[in-house]
Amino acid sequence: MDSELKSRIDERVQVLSTIKEDLITRLNLPYNPDDLHEDVSLLGSGLGLDSLDALEVILGIEHAFGVKVADDNIAILRSINSIADFVLEARADGVPEEAAR
Amino acid sequence: MRKSPVHDIQQASGATFDDRVGVTRATRFGDPQEEYRAVRDAVGLTDFSFTVRYRVPEDGLDVLEQYAAGSVANIRFGRVLHTLAADEQGHVETDLYIANDDEQLLVIGESLISDEQNAKILAGMGAEQAGLEDISSSTALFGLDGLNAWMVVKDLFGPDVLGLPYLSIETYELDGTEIRLLRTGKTSEFGYLLLVPAEIAASAWNRLLQVGQPHGLKVIGTDTHDVLRLDGRFFNIYGEGAKVQDPLALGLQWMIDFDGEPFRGQEAIRERRAAGPRQKIIGVQPQEGVLEPGMEIFHQERMIAQVVTAQYSPTLGEWIGLALFDWEFAYSGLEFCDQSKRSIRTVSMPPFMPKSLEVKLDEM
């Protein structure tokens, strides 16, 4: 694996791990991080989050990564991967490194 | 061969059919893209009578606990569990909805094995003594899926139906006959299943056509569901399920109660889970052109994945698929290539926001 690819994967793995651990802790899910496929649906099917759970998840994202999620942006809650995309795009758009951790 | 109670109506309307594990399914009714658009923009009516269905008395809970991987005992009254049944090797065999319906449990399965094979497995778990009844032929199952699906059930059953949460079941009357309505769906749009007695299947089908007409209803076949499930990123047992089989590589851990009552295949799944994951499926899109099952994906000279399912998505206007990747490469947002050096991107799924998620039924 070349170093550029490894670097991109490492960055994504770090973001995904933080999201998964936050989900497992906040929602008391009976899974380990490897059990949570990154494409698993968060709303409705899959993990089946309700609106209160969704609020918890958004608070977790904002706290963990120092980003602000707009009230009407439920699109990012499609899956763990869509949350990670949002965080990585926010970083690329200049969210301070210390705030993004 | 088991056929739907409305098979003849569908045949007369020009449907095409396939036969799978001893059951006939209506695969297509018209232009595939029009069928697809009906669900994403309006509502589609599908005949799911090809599913295997059981009625299980409360006393049959033990049988279902051995059969299903999820926590059947914890299904609350009026709710539906989406889970799976596995074979002895811990491979996915049936995609299940199990509903807690008053003093009975209702089971609806999309299966890779025949009715007879399922019956044999359940018999070995004590189905006969528990009073499990196969209702696959005595009932019909119709699906309403789409942005406007809620409008059709509201017209049929009144505004209270909009309060049904996802994965729930309720009893209603349809033209004087008791039926079961399940709020479910595997398209990412609104979805409802109507379980009706076979005697009224034809009249119920025609009633759905009539009530759905002002809401843009079209009859759609199972081929269209293959596309809807893929670009809605719902598990398709007839697609990636049949090819990959391992629920862990398929990302179906959420359907499994790892620490619950013993179920068929549990030990094999637990062993693989303990050994750690090796592969998993993720979304892929080609930079241009067509994506085909079996296509190999490379990083440098190493083959790291193989496409297992692919469809053209009318919403995306592009091909999309799922590929089984070696674990270390199974992340979205990366770029690899196929044998001809064409770029293949890994993508986050589901790739778009379904319109139904923006509709608030509690404000209707």
Inter-chain touch A44–B273, beta carbons under 8 Å:
no
Which residues in A lie closer than 8 A to residue B277 (C-beta atoms)? Answer: 34
User: What is the arithmetic mean of pLDDT over B276-296?
Assistant: 95
Tokens of B303: 């083959």
Q: Is the pLDDT of residue B360 over 90?
A: no
Q: What was the pLDDT predicted at A98?
A: 43
Question: pTM of this prediction?
Answer: 0.94
User: What is the arithmetic mean of pLDDT over B339-349?
Assistant: 96
3-state secondary structure B2-70: ECCCCHHHHHHCCCEEEEECCEEEEEECCCHHHHHHHHHHCEEEEECCCCEEEEEEHHHHHHHHHHECC
User: What is the arithmetic mean of pLDDT over B131-155?
Assistant: 98
Q: What was the pLDDT predicted at B321?
A: 98
Is B82 in the A-facing interface, judged by CB distances under 8 Å? yes
CATH topology of domain A3-92: 1.10.1200
A–B interface: beta-carbon pairs under 8 A:
86
Alpha-carbon gap, residue B216 to B42, rounded angstroms = 5
Q: Is the pLDDT of residue A101 over 70?
A: no
Is A85 in the B-facing interface, judged by CB distances under 8 Å? yes
Q: In angstroms, what CA-CA distances link A68 with A45, A74, B104, B108, B270?
A: 26, 13, 47, 42, 39
What percentage of residues in chain A have a pLDDT greater than 70?
A: 93
Locus of tokens 């025949």 = B114
Predicted ipTM of the assembly: 0.88
B167 vs A74, higher pLDDT: B167
Q: What was the pLDDT predicted at A95?
A: 61
Is B359 in the A-facing interface, judged by CB distances under 8 Å? no
Average pLDDT, chain B: 96
User: What is the arithmetic mean of pLDDT over B159-178?
Assistant: 95
Mapped onto helix, strand or coil, the DSSP state of residue B164 is coil
Inter-chain touch A9–B251, beta carbons under 8 Å:
no
